[in-house]
Amino acid sequence: SGVKLSYGTSGFRADASILQSTVFRVGILAALRSLRTQSVIGLMITASHNQVSDNGIKVGDPSGGMLTQDWEPFADSIANAPTPQELLQLVEEFVAKEGIRFDGSRPAKVLLGRDTRPSGDSLLEAAKQGISSIVGASAVDMGIVTTPQLHWMVRAKNKGLKAAELDYFEQLSSSYRCLLDLIPNGSKVEKAENKLVVDGANGVGSEKLEGLKKSLDGLDIEIRNTGKEGVLNEGVGADFVQKEKILPQEFGPKDCCRCASLDGDADRLVYFTLPSESSSKIDLVDGDKILTLFAVFIKEQMVEDGYHARLGVIQTAYANGASTNYLRQLGLEIALTPTGVKYLHEKAAEYDVGIYFEANGHGTILFSDHFLSWLEAKNNELGSEQKKAALRLLAVSKLINQAVGDALSGLLLVEAILIHKGWSICKWNGLYQDLPSRQLKVKVIDRTAVVTENAETIAVKPPGIQEAINAEIAKYPCGRCFIRPSGTEDVVRVYAEASTQEAADSLANSVAKIADQFLGSRSSSSV
């Protein structure tokens, strides 16, 4: 009673104690989606980087991607239906509207996965009951898996491929080995950097990385925060490291080596290093830097292979301006989208090769079927160096998880590229220096009063607000600032960059005051 749930990019998330009925109902939705598409659908029970007492559920579509936006209103309506009778009525109306055959003549299959949260078992049972309430539908329990693993399994199943966890490990490890075999003679990372120390966020990613390690010769990985003692996402994980920019638990001043951090369900990845033993402040290598590394490598291979393919780099307005400038200087095509993985993924699919990452470390690379077919067909016709470049691109397409962002596959690709180029983490991190930035949120009475265009970089309503923002931006060297309405609460978010931290803070505060004047806000706070 009194709870209103909304299906977003991360599905439904809430305190685990109130989610059983919601998960049951999403089980119904997943079975109907399978009937409608005549494909395997995925259901993942996780709350990613949220605290351990939370949980959530999200649907994986036949492509392995997120649930189509067309079905999100139905998800909202059945999750919030106050009585069984209203739930039944909503289901019957939706089945009729979608033309779903509801007579048991067609089978429906849903793959179920969960992370390591204690609440996962009971919610899994609720999902199974929801699925089995639809005639002809069956649930397949894939066990404790990372979110990207489940999405990979759904994609593989619908392509008619093997889709067990061992198949996932084999595809990642063999593709990684292939990239190492194709490294030019003479490339070698300094011996001191051979070891990689990984923060597993006390989550499922540490367990799966341990399993993956067994098939990886020559990659020295030490995993900490494995969940045997610590608490999931508490002072650990990619979200914590990226936001706080300090060492996670179980890391200390002696850890001046190359380090990486996964998030709770292993769909985000960031790297970091400790510049000195006298400070816990880290040098963060975030999603923007990972995107840059991937883009540099792929561009080099595409020049070699001789095919005039379109390579697109997809970012949101939150990407650090220094990364965007660096990528432009390399001659790369950059596209901006509104905030949200669904927009990034959709735009990336328009290119022969589309790369997207958010600063939080979530992202992937998409390869068009046409481009992959060309690479495979031309393999025997290409010269020696061109052939190697084509083989590298094919290996990347198999190593990277094209369904969703995947910290494990991303980590292996980062490692392979660093070895290929002979780069240390310091060399990689030094490609460009991030511009100082500040984010604020301003409480407002009605966030819908703000309307944006150009991938949320220009506010067209209320009238006059963008002109006032532009006047402030002009006062600061390297100044950039935008406002956008939150998707979940009555606040307007402010993002500002400038040449110094003091200037970025000042610009953000000035624009927050402008938002206050135009929108009748109540207060502002840092985020």
Q: What is the pLDDT of residues 54-98, one digit of tens each?
A: 999 999 999 999 999 999 999 999 999 999 999 999 999 999 999
pLDDT digits 0-9 by tens, 503-516: 999 999 999 999 99
Is 486 annotated in some ligand binding site?
A: yes
3-state class of 512 per DSSP?
A: helix
Which residue is catalytic, options 48, 173, 261, 524? 48
pLDDT of residue 526: 58
pLDDT digits 0-9 by tens, 324-364: 999 999 999 999 999 989 999 999 999 999 999 999 999 99
Across 166-257, the runs of DSSP E, i.e. the strands, are: 195-199, 220-224
In the chain, % of residues over pLDDT 90: 83
Whether the Cβ atoms of residue 286 and residue 361 lie closer than 8 Å to each other:
yes
Is 265 annotated in some ligand binding site?
A: yes
Is 484 annotated in some ligand binding site?
A: yes
Of 241-245, 402-406, 456-460, the least confident:
241-245
Is 358 annotated in some ligand binding site?
A: yes
Mean pLDDT over each residue of the chain, to the nearest integer = 93
Q: Residue 191: pLDDT band by 50, 70, 90 thresholds?
A: very low
Which tokens is 219 given? Answer: 């990659």
pLDDT of residue 277: 73
Q: Round to whole Å and give the CA distance between 161 and 521.
A: 54
DSSP 340-392: SHHHHHHHHTTSSEEEEE-TTS-EEEEE-HHHHHHHHHHTTTS-HHHHHHHHH
Give the pLDDT mean for 289-297: 98
The runs of H, that is alpha helices, within 233-356 are 238-244, 287-305, 321-329, 341-348
For residue 70, how many other CB atoms are within 10 A of its CB?
A: 8
Whether the Cβ atoms of residue 513 and residue 505 lie closer than 8 Å to each other:
no
pLDDT of residue 525: 58
Whether the Cβ atoms of residue 242 and residue 286 lie closer than 8 Å to each other:
yes
Identify whether 48 is a catalytic site residue.
yes
Is 359 annotated in some ligand binding site?
A: yes
Task: Tell which residue, 189, 116, 103, 101, has the closest CA to residue 147.
Answer: 116
Strand-pairing partners, residue 484, are 493
Q: Round to whole Å and give the CA distance between 498 and 472.
A: 12
Which tokens is 252 given? Answer: 């200390």
pTM summary value: 0.94
Q: Report which of residues 448 and 367 the model is more confident about.
A: 367
Pairing of strands 195-199, 220-224: parallel
Q: What backbone phi and psi angles, to 5 degrees, belong to 51?
A: -65, 160
Is 263 annotated in some ligand binding site?
A: yes
Is 493 annotated in some ligand binding site?
A: yes
Give the pLDDT mean for 247-276: 91
Q: What backbone phi and psi angles, to 5 degrees, belong to 246?
A: -130, 165
In the chain, % of residues over pLDDT 70: 96
Is 225 annotated in some ligand binding site?
A: no
Q: Report which of residues 275 and 93 the model is more confident about.
A: 93
Is 30 annotated in some ligand binding site?
A: no
Please say if the pLDDT value at position 522 is more than 80. no
Task: Tell which residue, 276, 284, 221, has the closest CA to residue 254.
Answer: 276
Is 415 annotated in some ligand binding site?
A: no
Is 429 annotated in some ligand binding site?
A: no
Task: Tell which residue, 337, 342, 313, 308, has the closest CA to residue 325.
Answer: 313
For residue 220, how many other CB atoms are within 10 A of its CB?
A: 11
pLDDT digits 0-9 by tens, 27-53: 999 999 999 999 999 999 999 999 999
For residue 214, how many other CB atoms are within 10 A of its CB?
A: 9
Q: What backbone phi and psi angles, to 5 degrees, belong to 357?
A: -150, 145
